């Protein structure tokens, strides 16, 4: 799939980082694919100079070791990426990705906000479940907490603002929505998203490689399962 060539903007982001912005700043599969493309250029170009590369919706944070390198020493390398933009105009292509299926036990018991979301959107709980599980979602970014993948875009019929008062504790595995995004909480934590159900799959395990079942650029599908199936897959309330 051909992708519109973005405009690039490079800025300092602390003593050991740059941030590469793709303009316009927008959430879309095309922008996400372009972010992946520039990550694929930056990784081999910076090589051992790179300590971490953090892609987001329309930007890439580039971190380096400040004890061995400086902004000035790495700027010539990063300028090669900016110059590559013109050389490769019109040649960006959708990066390869995998489809990840995540089981979800949707219910009023496992999803504290399922009924309130249905009421707010003038839908039945079954219609909410059908809408949420009827499409694939792109992994746009990973942040907030290790393993927290921001997925979009949620069907417009389910778009909900964040809770006015966040919960002090959202359970690990909670499948939630906010605005046009959805996500699975990887660990128990505070949170202000609306909870629809629970996923038994562990979203972050530092003892495994890879530590997450999803990566930026992947497609995620939610598969409704029964409470019994949820338990057999290792889930627990």
Express each pLDDT in 122-165 by its tens digit.
999 999 999 999 999 999 988 878 899 999 999 999 999 999 99
pLDDT tens column, 17-45:
999 998 888 777 778 878 888 888 888 88
Architecture of the 7-87 domain = 2-Layer Sandwich (3.30)
| Residue ranges with strand state E in 31-111 | 50-55, 59-64, 99-106
pLDDT band at 88 (very low <50, low <70, confident <90, very high): low
Domain coordinates in residue numbering, the chain: 7-87, 99-232
Mean pLDDT (the chain) is: 88
Contact residues for 165 (Cβ-Cβ < 8 A; gap 6+):
192
pLDDT digits (tens, 9 = 90+) for 44-58: 888 888 898 888 888
Locus of tokens 């930056």: 42
Fold of 99-232: Cyclophilin (2.40.100)
Tally the residues of the chain.
Answer: 237
């Amino acid at each position: 799939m051909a992708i519109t060539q973005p405009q690039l903007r490079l800025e300092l982001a602390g003593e050991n980082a740059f941030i590469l912005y793709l303009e316009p700043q927008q959430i879309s599969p095309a922008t996400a694919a372009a972010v992946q493309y520039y990550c694929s250029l930056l990784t081999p170009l910076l090589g051992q100079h790179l300590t971490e590369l953090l892609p987001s919706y329309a930007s890439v944070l580039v971190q380096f070791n400040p004890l061995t390198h400086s902004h000035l020493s790495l700027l010539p390398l990063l300028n090669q990426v900016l110059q590559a933009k013109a050389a490769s105009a019109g040649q960006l292509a959708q990066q390869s990705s995998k489809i990840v299926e995540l089981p979800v036990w949707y219910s009023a018991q496992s999803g504290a906000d399922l009924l309130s979301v249905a009421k707010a959107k003038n839908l039945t709980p079954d219609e909410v479940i059908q809408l949420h599980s009827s499409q694939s979602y792109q992994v746009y970014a990973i942040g907030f907490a290790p393993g927290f993948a921001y997925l979009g875009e949620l069907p417009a019929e389910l778009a909900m603002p964040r809770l006015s008062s966040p919960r002090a504790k959202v359970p690990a595995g909670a499948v939630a929505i906010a605005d046009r995004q959805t996500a699975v909480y990887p660990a128990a934590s505070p949170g202000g998203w609306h909870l629809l159900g629970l996923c038994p799959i562990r979203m972050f395990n530092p003892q495994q490689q890879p530590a997450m079942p999803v990566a930026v650029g992947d497609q995620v599908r939610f598969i409704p399962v029964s409470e019994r199936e949820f338990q057999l897959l290792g889930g627990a309330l």
